[in-house]
Amino acid sequence: MAPSAASGVSSLPSGFAVFITFPDLLFTFEFVFGGLVWILVSSSHVPIPLVQGWVMFASVFCFVATTVLAFLYVIGAHGNRNSWITLDAAYHCVAALFYFGASVLEALVTIQLQDGFFYKYYHENISAVVFSYVATLLYVVHAVFSLIRWKSS
Backbone dihedral angles phi then psi of residue 54, each to the nearest 5 degrees? -65, -45
Span between the terminal Cα atoms of the chain, in Å: 10
Rounded CA separation 7/115 (Å): 59
Question: pLDDT tens digit string along 118-150?
Answer: 667 788 888 889 999 999 999 999 999 889 988
Rounded CA separation 103/97 (Å): 10
- Report the pLDDT value the prediction gives residue 16, as an integer from 0 to 100: 62
Whether the CB-CB separation of 38 and 59 falls below 8 Å is answered with yes
Question: pLDDT tens digit string along 76-89?
Answer: 777 777 788 888 89
